[in-house]
Amino acid sequence: MKCVIVAAGQGARLHDVELKPLVPLLGMALIEHVISRAHAAGITDFVVVSGFRGGELRARLDVFAARQGVQVRHVVNDEWHRANGVSLWKARPLLGEPFVLTMCDHVVDPAILRALIDAPPPAGGAVLAVDRRLDNPLVDLDDVTRVQSRDGRIERIGKLLPEYDCFDTGVFLCTPGIFDALQASQAAGEDSITAAMNVLARQGRAGVFDIGGRLWIDVDDLASLGKATALLQSGRL
């Protein structure tokens, strides 16, 4: 199974430190942690979508992939200033069967990925790994994407939902049907993966997978970088 990693954006809140995917975290680049954890879950085939300062990222990953014994194929998104659904769309030619989708800044317990891979998505749809701990101190409530679910399916998803029962962890198991949803959301003027998931939700094809007590963190600013460092140093993540 392939794993697609979206790594095209500017990462404005960490841009002053380093190119976001290459921000150092305990001796490794942030995206190297993402790949290593997916590798620990059994994935060896990666598709990385780069954009902003992409040459630096691609060169670094080629060295890392050779060292780790994994395959990294590159997709270039020259429209990196648009929402993240554009990055996923540009990877479409490489994705003819179900695949894992994640972000370059989400560090997760490999057990989440292993269990998600065993959770079949709805036909032509996608499954999102969700965190039902609404009091999780690792979650930035001002930035996290919120999810309203019912009976194992997403009803609505978005950053500004007034009512929600879980959080989007940024890890998905997708069928190629996600591309039809992306096309529909883009036609409506919305370029994000979240918008595509709302399309699937309206069709009853967006499932949720509860990660239970497993840990994850979105490393999006200096505060979350510090939390991730502490979690890794303690061996909790």
Segments making up each domain of the chain, as ranges: 2-234
DSSP H or E run through 66: helix 54-68
Q: What pLDDT score was predicted for residue 96?
A: 94
pLDDT at 84: 96
pLDDT at 10: 79
d(CA 202, CA 160): 18
What would the mean pLDDT of 146-172 be, rounded to a whole number? 97
Query: Sorting pLDDT into bands at 50, 70 and 90, what band is 110?
Result: very high
- pLDDT classification of 13: cutoffs 50, 70, 90: low
Mean pLDDT on 63-92 = 96
Could you tell me the two tokens for 140? 């930035």
Contact 207, 127 (CB under 8 A): yes
Q: 18-49: buried (b, 16+ CB within 10 Å) or exposed (e) per residue?
A: ebbbbbebeebbbbbbbbbbbbebebbebbbb
Average the pLDDT over 168-181 and give the result: 98
Taking only the tens place, the pLDDT of each residue in 23-51 is: 999 999 999 999 999 999 999 999 999 99
DSSP assignment of 113-169, as one string? HHHHHTSPPPTTSEEEEEE--TT-TTS-TTTPPEEEEETTEEEEEETT-SS-SEEEE
The whole-number average pLDDT for the span 77-106 is 96
Picking from 103, 109, 5, 89, the residue whose alpha carbon sits closest to that of residue 47 is: 5
Give which of 74, 86, 55, 65 is closest to 183, Cα–Cα.
Answer: 86
* pLDDT value at residue 105: 94
Q: What are the backbone dihedrals phi and psi of residue 52, each rounded to the nearest 5 degrees, phi first? A: -60, 125
Q: How far is CA 1 from CA 94, 199, 221, in A?
A: 12, 24, 31
> Residue 12 above 70 pLDDT?
no
Tell me the pTM.
0.95
Please state the rounded mean pLDDT for residues 127-137: 97
Percent of the chain with pLDDT over 70: 97
99 has a pLDDT exceeding 60 = yes
Q: What is the arithmetic mean of pLDDT over 59-87? A: 96
Question: In the block, which residue shows the tokens 């001796």?
Answer: 27
CA distance 108 to 170: 10
* Rounded mean pLDDT, 109-136: 96
Mean pLDDT, rounded, for 94-114: 97
pLDDT tens figures, 191-203: 999 999 999 999 9
Question: Are the C-beta atoms of residues 110 and 40 closer than 8 Å to each other?
Answer: yes
Q: Which CATH superfamily does the domain covering 2-234 fall into?
A: Spore Coat Polysaccharide Biosynthesis Protein SpsA; Chain A (3.90.550.10)
State phi, psi for 111 to the nearest 5 degrees: -65, -30
Distance of CA 80 to the CA centre of its chain: 16
